[in-house]
Structure 1
Amino acid sequence: MSEARATMRARFVAEMGHVGIPLVVGFALCQVWLSLCFFAPQLFPQNASVKVYEISLVVSAVSLLPAFVRPKRFEALLENGRAILGTALCASVGTLMIPFSSGDSMTDMLLQLCAGVLTGLASGWLFVAWYQAFCKAGDLIGFVLGSFANSLFMYLFTTVAYLPDVSPWIMVFVACAAPIASAVLLVRCPVCSSFASEVKLPARHTKEYRSLVVLCCSIFFVSFVDEFMRNFYLEGSDLQFYSGSLNLVLVVVKTVSIIMLVAIIASHGHQMSLAYRFSLLLTMTAVLLMPYVQHWPYFMYGITNFGAFLFKTMISILAFNFCRSYRIAPLLVFSLTRIAFSLDLLLGFVSFKAYQAAAPGASDLLGLLSVAMGLLVVTIYSFVFTDRYGASLFAIADAPDSMQGAFSEKCDRIVQVGRLSKREADVLRLIAKGRSTPRIQEELSISVNTVNSHTSHIYQKLGIHSRQELLDLLESTAPASSE
Structure 2
Amino acid sequence: MTIFASSQVGSCHATDILASLRYYWMGKRSCAEPRRSALRGDNGMVQYLAGHMKGYRKQAIGFAFFLAWNYFSFFSCGLVPVIRVVRSSERVWVWAGLLIAVASLVLMVASSRTRLAGKKSFGVVAALFASVGTVVIWTSFFYESTYQTVSAVGGMVAGVGFAMMALVWGDRMSRYNEAAIEFSAPASFILSFFLYFILLALKGPASMAVNALLPLLSMYFAFRAADLSTGGADVGVKVDRLIDGRELASALAGVATLSLLFAMLWFQFAYFRLLSTPDVVGDRFLHYLVPFSCSSVLSIIALLSCIKLSRQLNFTLMFRWGLPLLLLSYALLYYDYDDPVQRIVAYTVNFIGMFGVQFSFWIAAPKFVRRSNVPAYLLFGALFAAEGVGIFVGTWYGLAVIDGVTAANVMNESLLFFVAVLLVAMVVGFNPRWSFFRMSPRWSGRDDKAEGGAADSTSTADDISALFAQQAEELRATYGLSNRETEVAELLLAGRSRPYIRDELIISLNTVHAHARNIYAKCGVHSQQEFMDLLRPAGKREGTEG
1:169 to 1:379, Cα distance in 2 relative to 1, 3 A: farther
Q: Does 1:259 align with 2:299?
A: no
Secondary structure (helix, strand or coil) at the match of 1:65 reads helix
* 1-structure distance, mates of 2:427, 2:284: 34
1:356 to 1:336, Cα distance in 2 relative to 1, 3 A: same
Based on CA coordinates, which of the two structures has the bigger radius of gyration?
Answer: 2
* 1-structure distance, mates of 2:313, 2:155: 42
* 2-structure distance, mates of 1:300, 1:78: 38
Residue 366 of structure 1: aligned partner: 410
1:311 to 1:55, Cα distance in 2 relative to 1, 3 A: closer
Q: Which residue of 457, 460, 463 corresponds with 1:410?
A: 463
Residue 210 of structure 2: aligned partner: 174
Q: Residue 144 of structure 1 contacts residue 316 of structure 1 at CA under 8 Å; is this kept in 2?
A: no
The one-letter amino acid of 2:414's match is S
Aligned pairs for 1:8-407 within 5 A:
9-11=43-45, 13-14=47-48, 17-18=51-52, 20-38=56-74, 39-40=76-77, 43-46=80-83, 48=85, 52-75=92-115, 77-102=116-141, 103=143, 111-112=150-151, 114-138=153-177, 139-141=180-182, 142-158=184-200, 160-161=201-202, 167-189=203-225, 190-191=227-228, 193-197=235-239, 198-200=241-243, 212-234=255-277, 239-241=284-286, 244-245=289-290, 247-264=292-309, 269=312, 277=320, 279-294=322-337, 295=339, 296-359=342-405, 364-379=408-423, 386=430, 388-391=432-435
* 2-structure distance, mates of 1:94, 1:382: 40
Normalised TM-score (structure 1)? 0.68
Q: Residue 465 of structure 2 contacts residue 494 of structure 2 at CA under 8 Å; is this kept in 1?
A: no
Secondary structure (helix, strand or coil) at the match of 2:242 reads coil
How far 1:375 sits from its partner (Å)? 1.2
* 1-structure distance, mates of 2:293, 2:425: 28
**Equivalences, count:** 396
Larger mean CA deviation between 377-386 and 93-102 belongs to 377-386
1:214 to 1:145, Cα distance in 2 relative to 1, 3 A: farther
1:114 to 1:199, Cα distance in 2 relative to 1, 3 A: same
Normalised TM-score (structure 2)? 0.61
Larger mean CA deviation between 238-247 and 296-305 belongs to 238-247
Provide structure 1 residue ranges, at least 5 long, that are not aligned to the other structure. 1-5, 162-166, 395-405, 416-425, 436-442, 446-483
How far 1:225 sits from its partner (Å)? 0.7
Q: Residue 225 of structure 1 contacts residue 373 of structure 1 at CA under 8 Å; is this kept in 2?
A: yes
The one-letter amino acid of 1:44's match is P
1:51 to 1:74, Cα distance in 2 relative to 1, 3 A: farther
The one-letter amino acid of 1:188's match is R
1:233-286 CA-partner distances (Å, limit 9, x unpaired): 125769545753454343332332232233357xx6279988964543222111
How far 1:333 sits from its partner (Å)? 0.9
1:373 to 1:12, Cα distance in 2 relative to 1, 3 A: farther
Q: Residue 270 of structure 2 contacts residue 394 of structure 2 at CA under 8 Å; is this kept in 1?
A: yes
Larger mean CA deviation between 322-331 and 18-27 belongs to 18-27
Secondary structure (helix, strand or coil) at the match of 1:137 reads coil
1:157-202 CA-partner distances (Å, limit 9, x unpaired): 32x13xxxxx332211221111112111112253465322543489
Secondary structure (helix, strand or coil) at the match of 1:46 reads coil
* 1-structure distance, mates of 2:130, 2:316: 38
The one-letter amino acid of 1:157's match is L
* 1-structure distance, mates of 2:174, 2:70: 21
1:8 to 1:239, Cα distance in 2 relative to 1, 3 A: farther
How far 1:224 sits from its partner (Å)? 1.1
1:413 to 1:297, Cα distance in 2 relative to 1, 3 A: closer
Percent of aligned positions with the same letter in both sequences?
15
* 2-structure distance, mates of 1:271, 1:84: 28
Q: Residue 33 of structure 1 contacts residue 178 of structure 1 at CA under 8 Å; is this kept in 2?
A: yes
